[in-house]
Amino acid sequence: MSIPDDSDPSLLANSRPGDNSEPLSVSDLSRSLKRVVEDRFGFVRLRGELSGVKRAASGHLYCSLKDEKSVIDGVMWKSATPRLAFLPEDGLDVIATGKVTTYAGRSKYQIMIERMELAGEGALLALLEKTKARLEAEGLFADARKKPLPFLPRTIGVVTSPTGAVIRDILHRLSDRFPSHVIVWPVLVQGEGAKAQVSAAVRGFNALERNGPVPRPDLLIVARGGGSIEDLWTFNEEEVVRAIADSDIPIISAVGHETDTTLADFAADHRAPTPTAAAERAVPVRADLAAALADLGARQMRSASRPVSMGRERLEACALRLPKPAALLQAPAQALDDASERQRRALVDRVGIGRAALDQVAARLTPSTLNWRIGQAKERLEHVRLVPGMLKARLDRAAERLAAGETTLRSLDPRAPLKRGYAMVFGPEGDLVRTAEGARRAGRVELEFADGRIAATTGSAPPPAAPQSPTPAPRTRKASPPPTNPKQGDLF
């Protein structure tokens, strides 16, 4: 291909002598560059600082890797993001493994990241501090969120690996101090899938019903043994920390050894330096409780018996100060003797006084005095006269009330209507029949008229055997007239 000669400019592009290449399109050049770059740089590992990290709605992750002098764009497709062991953030020092390619739409080259790791422990600690600051700003580590631990939990849930020494240490310590019902939720404590299992275990324990077939724990212990910061990273994951912070059941975090600290320790209600210490914090010592109860029982008995003994002492002291019964009765006995003597003398004096008064009255009672008083009484009696009109008026009013009562009695007589042509119907048992239906059911009835009774049948009943004798009508008692010449009685 010859170099074009610019000395002869022209308006149209024409083929020149010796020019054996056709002009390339932009897409052709982009594809050529893409093949060259991808062939020359297959999979590479780049170390740099993350910048401009953002996750698109499609799930793809876009970022830039930079150092002191250069910047390269990076993209991590949605299919690769689940393999991330941490949450990418701006400022993290990472090592990205992937394939260098070009993006023709912007004439840029970029790296398609297949794997991303933190570049050393320093980057891991930096990520830890950023995550801690963000969660602390949300209030997940606030003391107000901490729940008190139960004094004596009936059921304890343990989230840990079922094959490690941690669960054996916890069970052994619980059996030594206070045997309890323990439910173990087996999980991975490190590696891929560990954070999902730990968070699912914590939320699963909280989802249990209180009276369900599997008892709901009163306390949770999240534990694992010691290790490096990378080994303990599961308990620094935001998903695990949020599950612990959202738990309604109090949680003891026992991750690592005494010097190890994770974000789960800050989110938990209590941090134990070791799993064994977590078991010791979960339950008290049974022997100590028994001794404390025995001491409280003895103190209760002493407290209950002390008032009785003190009361007995006070009663005995008071009894010593009480006078003798004989001394208490001496004064009343003397007073009784004095009263008896005074009563005897008073009766003697009263008899003498009465005899003297009788003698004085008897001296005044003579026959002439009695005859005089009788004469006066006769004179007063002769002057008293009873008016006949008053007695006659009272007798007339009594006769009127008697006549009115007789009239009322005749009007209320149930057999009075019989004289006007009515009849009364009685059943076989002698009970009164008041309805036609009752008469049809009775079959045989008796009809009572003013002058007697006759038997009758209703419906298909046979006629009676013989008539009964008529019952005489009740006689109305007439009021006797008042006497025409009543004898005057004595009103006094």
Residue 359 inside a domain? The answer is no
pLDDT band of 160, cuts 50, 70, 90: very high
Residue 300 to residues 37, 292, 293, 308, 311, Cα–Cα distance (Å):
90, 12, 10, 13, 17
Residue after which a domain boundary falls, among 227, 262, 284? 284
Do 279 and 299 share a structural domain?
A: no
* Beta-carbon-side half-sphere exposure of residue 404 (alpha carbons within 13 Å): 6
Other CB atoms within 10 Å distance of the CB of residue 82: 8
pTM recorded for the entire structure: 0.46
Residue 251 inside a domain? The answer is yes
Q: Which domain holds residue 248?
A: 153-284
- Roughly what angle, to the nearest 10 degrees, separates helices 121-137 and 238-245? 30
Quick one: which of 130, 161, 131, 128 has its CA closest to 228? 128
183 close to 217: Cβ distance less than 8 angstroms: yes
Residue after which a domain boundary falls, among 256, 284, 312? 284
Do 178 and 85 share a structural domain?
A: no
- Phi/psi region, residue 58 (left: phi>0; alpha: psi -120 to 50; beta: rest), is alpha
Residue 277 inside a domain? The answer is yes
| Sequence-ordered list of residues with C-beta below 8 angstroms from that of 136, at least 6 positions apart, any chain | 266
Distance of alpha carbon 75 from its chain centroid, rounded? Answer: 56
pLDDT band of 241, cuts 50, 70, 90: very high
What is the end-to-end Cα distance of the chain in Å, rounded?
A: 177
Do 103 and 54 share a structural domain?
A: yes
Do 160 and 64 share a structural domain?
A: no
Q: pLDDT at residue 368 above 90? A: no
Do 79 and 195 share a structural domain?
A: no
User: In CATH, what number is assigned to the domain containing residue 192?
Assistant: 3.40.50.261
Query: Which residue matches tokens 């730990």?
Result: 198
The pLDDT tens digits for 455-487 are 888 865 555 554 454 444 444 444 444 444 444
Number of domains the chain contains: 4
The pLDDT tens digits for 273-331 are 999 999 999 999 888 888 888 899 988 888 888 888 898 889 888 888 888 888 778 88
